[in-house]
Amino acid sequence: MRLSLAALSVLTLCQLTSCSTQSKDESSKTGNIALEASAKSPAATSSADSSEAPKEKPVAAARPAGAVSTGDSTLDSLTFAPPAGALLPKYRIFAYYGNPHSKKMGVLGKYPKDEMLKRLDEEIKNWQKADPATPILPALHLVATSAQGSPGKDGGYRMRMSDKTIKKVLKWGNDHKAIVFLDIQRGHAPLGPEMEYMTKYLKLPFVHLGIDPEFSMVTGAKPGTKIGSYDAADVNQAVKFLSRIVKENNLPPKILVVHRFTQGMIKNYKNIKLDPNVQIVMDMDGWGPPVLKKDSYLAYIQKEPVQYTGFKLFYENDFRKPGSRIMTPAEVLALTPKPLYIQYQ
């Protein structure tokens, strides 16, 4: 028997905790409480950054013909180019999620860079064995704008990672031949300016976008106290934004990852409009026992389809319920539709 929605007790909000790790230059700029992965992953987390902004694997290549300069010499020195054209459904994308300033936010920041990338490669081998027919593209999914427990100077309840931090993770991806996702937890800040802040990075062919409804606080609540939401209009706004970057810079289609683990996180999904320049992934983002994760995938991803689907696994939180465990690649790939974006936190 399927669990009722009321039984989704694993999808509870995290408690706010202070930053666990910060770089020297960034920690001096913020005394804020950083949030992450609450209901979807109640592990309290932290990034460390100010209102500035700061990793995946086919063969490296020169930047695509026609790609314009970002206007930043450091970024323009990153030459990794993924396979030409749309990545989905030809490839399965396998991402490690988090922030290098927080060990609690996810595996991306839990280990030193080299160990983290080694673990990424080893995990990919397990997934490739489970589905040899679909090549896997490594990815790093960076929380580039982190929701905060305090408002900050502009009342936005969010913190943008510094240019230094973002460039560092982009270089990790470039050197490891991995694509990179920049994820936005907007808090109270309007989505448009938060996306515009990422423009110069998104001009790179291997950089894509994620938006997190959990921390889109349309009710005015403090991030981490309630689960936020996006309307189809917000998703369409992100699609139009990415489509413009693709067209203006002669780039292959961008991927937009939209996290979801409850009914209310995405409203009016039928009104989401597809665009040939953008591939939308609805990512089942909740943690808990396998039966609960399957139930959530059925209720919010399979029954409300948009385009492509994703599935998130938690190295720690999927074990929090007594008797729970992390799902195997074979179990995840038995879902319908078969997820093409896999994320580990």
Residues contacting residue 110 through CB under 8 Å, at least 6 positions apart: 98, 103, 104, 116
Amino acid at 279: Q
Per-residue confidence (pLDDT) for residue 152, from 0 to 100: 94
Where exactly are the structural domains of the chain?
A: 87-344
The fraction of the chain above a pLDDT of 90, given in percent, is: 78
User: Which CATH class, in words, describes the domain spanning 87-344?
Assistant: alpha beta
> Which of 170, 164, 172 is CA-nearest to residue 112?
172
- pTM of the predicted protein model: 0.84
pLDDT at 67: 55
Model confidence at 55: pLDDT above 80: no
| pLDDT confidence bin for 71, thresholds 50/70/90 | confident
Please, what is the average pLDDT of the chain?
84
Residue 17 has pLDDT above 60, yes or no: no
Q: Has residue 231 got a pLDDT over 80?
A: yes
Residue percentage of the chain with pLDDT more than 70: 80
CB-count burial class (<10 Å; 0-12, 13-18, 19+) for 108: buried
- Residue 57 pLDDT more than 60? no
Q: pLDDT tens, 246-286?
A: 999 999 999 999 999 999 999 999 999 999 999 999 999 99
- Mean pLDDT value of segment 82-110: 96
Residue with tokens 């921390």: 215
d(CA 103, CA 142): 13
27 by DSSP, 3-state: which?
helix
Q: Say which residue the tokens 């790609």 belong to.
A: 67
3-state secondary structure of 208: strand
pLDDT tens digits, one per residue of 104-153: 999 999 999 999 999 999 999 999 999 999 999 999 999 999 999 999 99
